[in-house]
Amino acid sequence: MRKAPDRVVPNEGLRYPADWRQLPYPFIEGLYDRTLFPIAEWREASRMALAVNEVESWSTDTGEADDELLVEQFRQKILTRRGIAAAADEILVTVGEQQALHLIFELLCGAQSTVGLEDPGEPDIRSLVHERGATVRYFPVGDTGVEIASGLEGIDLFYVSPSRQRPTGVTMPDSERAALLAEAHRHDTLIVEDDFECELGFLADAPPSLKSGDRDERVVYVASLSKVLSPGLRLGFLVGPADFIRAARRLRNLTTRKPSPITQRTAGIFLSLGHYDAMLRNHFGIYERRLIALRDALNHYRPLSIAIPPVTGGTSYWVRGPENLDAEKLRVAAQNSGVLIEPATPYFADGQGRSNMFRLGVTSLDESRIRPGIEALSREMLKLMNAPADAGSPQRPAEDSFASLPGAQLQRLFSDQRLNYQTVYGEPCIIELFADGSMRGRAGYAQEDRDEGRWWIEGDHWCRQWNEWAYGETGRFLVAREGNRILWLDDDGRRIDEALIAPSRD
């Protein structure tokens, strides 16, 4: 945890070209694949909303009251899945998630407030807090979400995205959610829960929302339809105590007023007909395949030393590269090859450092383009890491340049050998190599992912081919050994991958 910097780092927004759709590999999270929008179903709901009796209903001046059908559908179709029971007067429809957050910070945050924020976190949230003149304390984010070991003493308002942390995508486990609620109760801290990808927990059972465990009305909940419907509709909602919702409604009335009545009614009909649930099931399958394709491509090409945290769903991976990687330079080089990535630096509070991290999203490109996109990105990363430091300096030696073993030693080295390996997403893998040239692999914490294949020696190269892993393609590597480490190298002697020789079981 650390104090906010005196200087507010401006939010420059995402940097990608306006014609990003013309590039083959836009790995920018949040850019929308328009082929996923359910045009026919939305048109059906729109036609129904324009029926005479419907027009008479939604066009009647009801002040700032939201559409009753839409509010009821939020209660039945979305909130119940998140474990939230809310009355109609505890729900406010907003013009997207951003308006919901703006209303919350306008009402609950002032110059005398101390606000806790995740780091890394959303730049827009930092801007909202700084504009209110509040004091900010930052809490680091690990592989299980925000870390609150330092406690919430003195924190008036705490912003958290527990189900899919923004931007890393990691999920806070139940035990840490309970600890956060207990700590907030102990110090009388209000919590803003941002559940921005509440419907996309497909790689594991999604834990219930933080709000579902709120017993003393200190959690204000924010979500949106944009992630799975369309950002263009700009429909979000917030859930909180009735008196807070009344205040938020009054404030909304002073600014944008309520979202379009016809859009609200159309969305309500869309949900009531089951189109939203059907679309969600479709998106589940599409995004799951895309995210797994991205994970597998990263694991296959493994550009240098990269790692991704474990995620249970969502639409992006937070990639940690080697310490000396400059993700901004990589962004520029990759764009020239048709690949768009998002450097991580703007998400950190100090706006500096962490230059070796970047984010890859799958909302805007088809599954078939993910693997070639990562292949292109890997090439650019390898070229960048082995380029001269500047135009006037000689070519620097690759840090991972090793002397390879001759082929005569490779046969002895790999025969009847057991290797401990780790995937790029952090799961253990055991590779067993047998003297007859067969091999067997078991990956995952329960060794649930299994495959078989073969290995052989060609000259001074060790070769392998899995039946399914690594796309079933032949891998051909030079090999070095450092103690109990096996290093797989490219033809220039650069390390591509590595494993540990397992201790003898004799």
* Each residue's pLDDT tens digit, 320-334: 988 888 999 999 999
Q: E strands of 95-187, at which residues?
A: 114-119, 135-142, 145-146, 157-160
State pLDDT tens for residues 62-109. 778 999 999 999 999 899 989 999 999 999 999 988 899 999 999 999
Q: pTM of the full predicted structure?
A: 0.87
| Contact between 363 and 29 (Cβ < 8 Å) | yes
Tell me the C-alpha distance between 289 and 378, whole Å.
Answer: 21
Q: Does 219 have pLDDT greater than 80?
A: yes
State pLDDT tens for residues 195-207. 977 666 555 567 7
Q: Which of 332, 86, 30, 369 lies closest to 200 in space, CA to CA?
A: 30
Of the candidate ranges 127-136, 160-169, 230-239, 289-298, the one whose mean pLDDT is the lowest = 230-239
Give pLDDT, residue 233: 79
CA-CA distances (angstroms) from residue 319 to 307, 325, 358, 387?
Answer: 6, 11, 5, 21
Give pLDDT, residue 501: 94
Q: Does 353 have pLDDT greater than 70?
A: no
Residue 59, judged by CB atoms within 10 A of its CB (0-12, 13-18, 19+), counts as exposed
Tell me the C-alpha distance between 467 and 453, whole Å.
Answer: 5
Q: Mean pLDDT in the chain?
A: 87
